[in-house]
Structure 1
Amino acid sequence: MKLVYVFDAYCGWSHGFSGTLLEVVSRHPDLPVDVVSGGLFTGSRRVPIREFGYVQGANAKINELTGAEFGDGYERLIADGSFVMDSEAAARGMAALRQAAPDRAVELAAELQRVFYVEGLSLSEPAAYRRVSEAAGLDADAVLAAFEAPETQATAEADFRRSAELGVTGFPTLLAVGGNSVTPLAQGHATADEIDQRLAGLSAARTH
């Protein structure tokens, strides 16, 4: 069995879930985790942030429920409402980071969200991936080259397809996948203890 984490780097609820996921991974170091970009803001949803009137209210709720930080840099970035969240660019960046350090994908996804939601770096810009790479001790030049490479675009599109094939309709979604079975462990919000209980239930069901 493995975990599949479907998120979007531009999803505030995914940012709020980062702490929970890091805790789950630390409790289950032997459980592999695939990190998949879901593609929240693509196509006709790639519009200035002012068109999503609920953003500030939603962020306040996420902070209240999860303690996730929304920093001054982020507030400045979105202040005039013109910033466009482009999930395709973010998925390419996540694919480049994942390629550089596949076994650290959960940590890198959390850090990617931090540089957007706390520092206010656009995930369409190479600077965001340089910041994440350097903080993680990765070869930043290699990550930036991968971010710009045409094949990374195909990887991002494959992530979006995988998300759809898994039946994911909202982010974040954490799934337990084993054989032909796909079991949701968390959608939107859950604590590490709640996920542990669901994992324990799954393990018990398998041994009967």
Structure 2
Amino acid sequence: MIGKTHITYLFDPLCGWCYGASPLLAQLAAAPNLTITLAPTGLFSDSGARSMDEQFAAFAWSNDQRIGSLTGQRFTDAYRSQVLAKGGMLDSGPATLALTAVALTAAEHEVDALRSIQEARYVSGRDVTDMSELQNVLASVGLGAAASRLASPDSDLLAANRERMASARALMREFPVNGVPGLIVDDGAHRTLLKAQDLFNDSDLVARLSNTGVSSAGLARNSHPMKG
């Protein structure tokens, strides 16, 4: 009998390529022989946050069109006009905290919550750097407990959020990997890093990970043996 393979998903909720990978993430989460842990890296939070000026907005839109062409994901005119053109900050800190609130209150729905936040931004053109907007997104998909935690972040929520990002960043240093999205695939014998190019260029990835595990799927080129 094949044991479950564990996948750690390295991502940032405001990363366009991570939004592009969301259909793949949904398939992985639905696969019966796989388990998924979300690991937010904080790529665009804290010191990684930046101003959404006109030049960067143009760059982002051009990159988003390439992602959409490759993945079929929608980047709408509402997103372009209400998010990119509006300016403000590219800061994933609030969205990352929102997902941690979901992890603490309804962990089984975190993948769905991530997709809802991404679609709120890239499809509906909503400002998911705003805490009240994030509360509305969570409440609208039945995650009222998480929305309530986000309304008044307590020390436990803030500590859990810091711990999740620290753990994700430690994995990025260990393998190493500079960007997201990425998967750390653990089949019990090896932990294997799959970078973005592996995720978007392998149409059989979900089936191979689900049915055969990492080592026998021929993915061991980036593997680290498990240590006791």
What is the TM-score normalised by the length of structure 1?
Answer: 0.84
- Which residue of 16, 19, 23 maps to 1:12? 16
> 1:165 offset after TM fit, Å?
1.2
* 1:166 match: secondary structure: helix
Deviations 1:20-76 (A, max 9, x none): 1112222x2342211111111123332221263521111010000001111233112
Deviations 1:138-159 (A, max 9, x none): 32xx222312313322222212
Task: Give the distance between the partners of 1:144 and 1:105, measured in 2 at CA.
Answer: 13
Map 1:89-108 → 2, pairs under 5 A = 89-108=94-113
Match of 2:208 in 1: 197
Task: Give the distance between the partners of 1:55 and 1:36, measured in 2 at CA.
Answer: 23
> 1:195 offset after TM fit, Å?
4.1
The answer as to whether partners of 2:187 and 2:215 remain within 8 angstroms in 1 is no
Residue identity matched to 1:174: L
The answer as to whether partners of 1:77 and 1:83 remain within 8 angstroms in 2 is no
Task: Give the distance between the partners of 2:8 and 2:21, measured in 1 at CA.
Answer: 14
Deviations 1:148-178 (A, max 9, x none): 3133222222122111111242111112125
The structure that has the greater radius of gyration is: 2
The answer as to whether partners of 2:52 and 2:87 remain within 8 angstroms in 1 is yes
Map 1:125-204 → 2, pairs under 5 A = 125=130, 126-135=132-141, 137-139=142-144, 142-147=145-150, 148-150=152-154, 151-167=156-172, 168-178=177-187, 181-187=190-196, 189-190=199-200, 191=202, 193-197=204-208, 200=212, 202=214, 204=216
1:43 matched to 2:49? The reply is no
The answer as to whether partners of 2:83 and 2:121 remain within 8 angstroms in 1 is no
Task: Give the distance between the partners of 1:79 and 1:108, measured in 2 at CA.
Answer: 22
The answer as to whether partners of 1:9 and 1:15 remain within 8 angstroms in 2 is yes
The answer as to whether partners of 1:98 and 1:105 remain within 8 angstroms in 2 is yes
Match of 2:82 in 1: 77
Residue identity matched to 2:185: A
Residue identity matched to 2:64: N
Unaligned runs of 5+ in 1: none
What is the number of equivalent residue pairs in this alignment?
Answer: 202
What is the TM-score normalised by the length of structure 2?
Answer: 0.78
Task: Give the distance between the partners of 1:99 and 1:170, measured in 2 at CA.
Answer: 26
Identity of aligned residues (%): 24
* 1:120 match: secondary structure: coil
The answer as to whether partners of 2:14 and 2:118 remain within 8 angstroms in 1 is yes
**Relative to 1, partners in 2 of residues 1:78 and 1:112: Cα closer, same or farther, differing over 3 Å?**
closer
Task: Give the distance between the partners of 1:35 and 1:68, measured in 2 at CA.
Answer: 20
Unaligned runs of 5+ in 2: 218-228
Task: Give the distance between the partners of 2:171 and 2:164, measured in 1 at CA.
Answer: 11
Match of 2:223 in 1: none
Deviations 1:91-112 (A, max 9, x none): 1011112223211222221121
The answer as to whether partners of 1:175 and 1:184 remain within 8 angstroms in 2 is yes
1:111 matched to 2:111? The reply is no
1:34 matched to 2:26? The reply is no
